[in-house]
Amino acid sequence: MSVRQSFDFIIVGAGSAGCVLANRLSAEPGNRVLVLEAGPRDGGLFMTMPAGVYRAYRDTRINWNYESEPEPHMDDRRIPVPRGRVLGGSSSINSMVYLRGHPRDYDRWAADDLPSWDYGHCLPYFRRSETSDTGPNAYRGGDGPLSVETGTLDSPIFDAFLDAAAEAGHGISDDLNGAKPEGFTRLQCTKRNGRRCSAAVAYLHPVMARPNLTVETGAQVLGLLFEGTRAVGVRYTQGGKILEARADREVILSGGAINSPQVLMLSGIGPAEELARHGIPVRHELPGVGDNLQDHIDVVLQFRTCKPVSLAWLRHPWGKLRVGAEWLLSRSGVCASNIFEIGGVIRSNSETPHANLHFHIAPVMFHYSDTDITLAEGFTVHLSQLRQESRGRIVLRSDNPLDKAGIQFNFLATEQDRREFREGIRLTRDIVSQPGLASLSGGETAPGADIQSDDALDAFVRAKAETEFHPSCTCRMGRDDMAVVDEELRVRGLEGLRVVDASVMPTVVSANLNGPTIMIAEKAADLILGRPALAPHDPRAA
Q: Report angle CA 270, 273, 278 to the nearest 5 degrees.
A: 85
Give 3-state DSSP helix, strand, coil % of the chain, rounded to 5: 30, 25, 40
Question: CA–CA separation, 473 vs 506, rounded Å?
Answer: 6
Contacts of 55 (CB under 8 A, 6+ apart): 46
* Peptide bond just before 447 cis, omega within 30 deg: yes
Please provide the distance, in angstroms rounded to a whole number, between the alpha carbons at the two ends of the chain: 59
- The residue ranges of DSSP E strands in 308-416, in sequence order, are 342-346, 357-362, 365-368, 373-376, 378-385, 392-395, 406-408
The question of whether 284 is a catalytic residue gets the answer no
Q: How far is C-alpha 417 from the chain's CA centre?
A: 20
The amino acid occupying position 317 is: P
According to DSSP, residue 499 is labeled E
Give DSSP secondary structure letters for 246-300. EEEEEEEE-SHHHHHHHHHHHTTEE-HHHHHHTT---SEE-TTTTEEEB--EEEE
Q: Which H or E run includes 186?
A: strand 183-186
| Active-site entry in 296, 354, 470, 537 | 470
Question: CA–CA separation, 519 vs 87, rounded Å?
Answer: 18
The catalytic residues are: 470
